[in-house]
Chains A and B, each alone.
Chain A
Amino acid sequence: MSSNGEVLVRIKEVDKVFRRGSEDINVLTGLNLEVAKGEFLALMGPSGSGKSTLLNLIGGLDRASRGVVEIGGERVDQMSDRDLAGWRARHIGFVFQFYNLLPVLNAERNVELPLLLTHLAKAERHKHVDTALNVVGLAHRTKAYPRTLSGGEQQRVGIARAIVTDPTILLCDEPTGDLDRKSGDEILSLLQALNRDQGKTIIMVTHDPHASHRASRTVYLNKGQLFAEAPE
Chain B
Amino acid sequence: MKFLSLVLSNLMRKKLRTILTMLSIGIAFVLYSFLGAVKQALVGGVALAGKDRIVVRHKVSIIQNIPIAYEERIRRISGVAELVHFSWFNGIYQDPKNFFPSYPTDPEACLSIYPEILISPEVRQAWLSTRTGAIVGRATADRFGWKVGQRIPLNSPIWPRADNAVWEFDLVGIYDGKKGFDTSGFYFRYDYFDEARRWGQGSIGWYVVRVSDATKTAGIAKAIDEEFANSAAETKAEPEGVFMQSFAQQVGDIGTILLGILSAVFFTILLVAGNTMAQGVRERTAELGVLKALGFGDGLVLGVVLAESMSIALIGGLLGLLLGAGLVTGMAPAMAAMLPNFYLPTGNLVVGAVLTLLLGFVAGILPAMQAGRLRIAEALRRSA
A interface residues (Cβ-Cβ under 8 A, vs B): 52-53, 56, 59, 61-62, 81-82, 85-90, 92, 94, 96-98, 100, 102-105, 109, 113-114, 116-117, 122, 161
B interface residues (Cβ-Cβ under 8 A, vs A): 2-3, 5-6, 9-10, 12-13, 286-287, 290-298, 375-377, 380-381, 383-384
B residues within 8 A CB of A97?
384
Question: CA A59 – CA B384 in complex, angstroms?
Answer: 18
B9 near A85 (CB under 8 angstroms)? no
B residues within 8 A CB of A98?
383-384
B297 near A82 (CB under 8 angstroms)? yes
B9 near A56 (CB under 8 angstroms)? no
Question: CA A92 – CA B297 in complex, angstroms?
Answer: 14
B residues within 8 A CB of A161?
294
B295 near A85 (CB under 8 angstroms)? yes
Most buried by A among B5, B9, B13, B293: B293
Question: CA A81 – CA B374 in complex, angstroms?
Answer: 12
A61 near B380 (CB under 8 angstroms)? yes
A residues within 8 A CB of B287?
100, 102
B293 near A94 (CB under 8 angstroms)? yes
A residues within 8 A CB of B376?
56, 61-62
Q: Which residue of B lies closest to A112 (CB)?
A: B2
A89 near B9 (CB under 8 angstroms)? no
Question: CA A220 – CA B135 in complex, angstroms?
Answer: 98
Give B142 Cβ to nearest chain A Cβ, in Å.
49
Q: Which residue of A lies closest to B293 (CB)?
A: A94
Give A143 Cβ to nearest chain B Cβ, in Å.
14
B residues within 8 A CB of A56?
376-377, 380
A88 near B293 (CB under 8 angstroms)? yes
Question: CA A53 – CA B378 in complex, angstroms?
Answer: 10
Question: CA A74 – CA B368 in complex, angstroms?
Answer: 31
Question: CA A98 – CA B287 in complex, angstroms?
Answer: 11
B residues within 8 A CB of A102?
9, 287, 290
B298 near A85 (CB under 8 angstroms)? yes
Q: Which residue of A lies closest to B375 (CB)?
A: A62
A100 near B295 (CB under 8 angstroms)? no
A residues within 8 A CB of B292?
61, 85
Question: CA A105 – CA B10 in complex, angstroms?
Answer: 9
Question: CA A109 – CA B10 in complex, angstroms?
Answer: 13
B residues within 8 A CB of A109?
5, 9
Give A111 Cβ to nearest chain B Cβ, in Å.
11
B297 near A86 (CB under 8 angstroms)? yes
B380 near A88 (CB under 8 angstroms)? no
Most buried by B among A82, A85, A94, A109: A85
The 6 residue pairs across chains A and B that have the minimum distance between CB atoms: A89-B295, A62-B377, A85-B297, A88-B295, A61-B376, A104-B9
Give A150 Cβ to nearest chain B Cβ, in Å.
19
Question: CA A103 – CA B10 in complex, angstroms?
Answer: 9
A117 near B295 (CB under 8 angstroms)? yes
Q: Assess A61 versus B297: contact at CB under 8 Å? Given A102-B287, A103-B13.
A: no
Q: Which residue of B lies closest to A121 (CB)?
A: B2
B294 near A94 (CB under 8 angstroms)? yes
A104 near B383 (CB under 8 angstroms)? no
Question: CA A131 – CA B298 in complex, angstroms?
Answer: 29
Q: Which residue of B lies closest to A125 (CB)?
A: B2
B residues within 8 A CB of A96?
290, 380, 383
Q: List 20 A-B contacts (CB under 8 A).
A: A52-B381, A56-B376, A81-B297, A85-B298, A86-B295, A87-B295, A89-B295, A98-B384, A100-B290, A100-B383, A102-B9, A103-B13, A104-B10, A104-B12, A105-B6, A105-B9, A109-B5, A117-B295, A117-B296, A122-B2
Starting from the known contacts A52-B381, A53-B377, A85-B296, 16 additional A-B residue pairs (CB-CB under 8 Å) come to A52-B377, A56-B376, A56-B377, A62-B377, A82-B297, A85-B297, A86-B297, A88-B295, A92-B293, A98-B383, A100-B290, A102-B9, A102-B287, A104-B13, A113-B6, A116-B3
Most buried by B among A89, A96, A100, A109: A100
Question: CA A114 – CA B291 in complex, angstroms?
Answer: 8
Most buried by B among A90, A96, A97: A96
A residues within 8 A CB of B297?
81-82, 85-86
Give A83 Cβ to nearest chain B Cβ, in Å.
10
Question: CA A122 – CA B4 in complex, angstroms?
Answer: 14
Question: CA A100 – CA B290 in complex, angstroms?
Answer: 7
Instruction: Tell which of B6, B12, B380, B383 touches A116, judged by Cβ atoms closer than 8 Å.
Output: B6
Question: CA A165 – CA B377 in complex, angstroms?
Answer: 22
A81 near B298 (CB under 8 angstroms)? yes
Give A159 Cβ to nearest chain B Cβ, in Å.
13
Q: Which residue of A lies closest to B295 (CB)?
A: A89
B291 near A113 (CB under 8 angstroms)? yes
